[in-house]
Amino acid sequence: MILTRDLRKSFGPVQALAGLSFAMAEGELAALLGANGAGKSTLLRLISGLSRPSSGSAEVAGFDVRRQPQEVRRRIGVVSHQTFLYEDLSAEENLHFYGRMYSVAGLQERSDELLAMMELWPRRTDLVRTFSRGMQQRLALARAMLHQPTVLLLDEPFTGLDLHAIDLLTSFIEEASAGRVTVLMTLHDPDYALAHSRRLFVLHQGRLVIDQPSEQVRKGDILPFFREK
């Protein structure tokens, strides 16, 4: 579902990604760990097409990210610590806006379903600017899932969330993965990654130093790579 081949990205003299090659199958739930500046967010930006690779290639569902960007965009949902939500619009208006951009069929029903699932139904007509951080992030996940993507890219989705919001998002992500959605999420919390992901990637200075099933990784294996250099 996600395939990268010798993916490289440089910002001037700084090499953010130094030749990443990996493949993720349908329904896989993987966590991407690493210190600040390891290249996690850069990798997600390259896979989502927001950034151009210096060399190498990335594919989503068999579509090349650079050559077939529209096909890729239709198949991915992205959540980052920035919500991509319009604060002057209500929760429902935000979902309808993005729904129309993705040409979602049965938009009203789909939007209602997601708002209920994210426990935002009572606040659906309220402006997003009145929402707490947790509510905004839940709505951001609803936005990302609105068009039923086959790949979900989550860039530190739990930043600033309370425990209830983390639980809600976790169960939603696990359900999505069980429903054959491929999930790749960057995280800073090794405990959470070990407990909830089925595959673990660790990036260190732009290189993939660990790529293993989560049950085969111990916390001690990861921690040395959490020091920023």
Contact footprint for another protein (CB under 8 A) = 48-52, 70, 73-74, 76, 78, 80, 82-89, 93, 97-98, 100-103, 127, 143
Q: Would you say 134 or 190 has its CB closer to another protein? A: 134
- C-beta of 56: minimal distance to another protein in Å? 16
- C-beta of 158: minimal distance to another protein in Å? 17
Alpha carbons 121 and 123: distance in angstroms, whole number: 5
Q: Would you say 102 or 192 has its CB closer to another protein? A: 102
Q: Would you say 133 or 198 has its CB closer to another protein? A: 133
Element (H, E) at 10: strand 2-11
- C-beta of 227: minimal distance to another protein in Å? 28
- C-beta of 16: minimal distance to another protein in Å? 12
Specify burial of residue 221 (Cβ count, 10 A radius: 0-12, 13-18, 19+): middle
Alpha carbons 163 and 224: distance in angstroms, whole number: 27
Q: Would you say 93 or 211 has its CB closer to another protein? A: 93
- What would the two tokens of residue 151 be? 């790949």
Residue of 74, 68, 60 lying closest to 5 (CA atoms): 60
Q: Would you say 184 or 193 has its CB closer to another protein? A: 184
Alpha carbons 10 and 42: distance in angstroms, whole number: 10
Cβ-defined contacts of 163-170 (< 8 Å, 24+): 164/134, 165/134, 165/135, 165/137, 165/138, 168/118, 168/119, 168/138, 169/137, 169/138, 169/141, 170/196
- C-beta of 144: minimal distance to another protein in Å? 9
- C-beta of 222: minimal distance to another protein in Å? 28
Q: Is 9 in contact with 39 (CB distance < 8 Å)?
A: yes
Q: Would you say 100 or 164 has its CB closer to another protein? A: 100
Task: Kindly give the pairing relationship between strand 199-204 and strand 207-213.
Answer: antiparallel
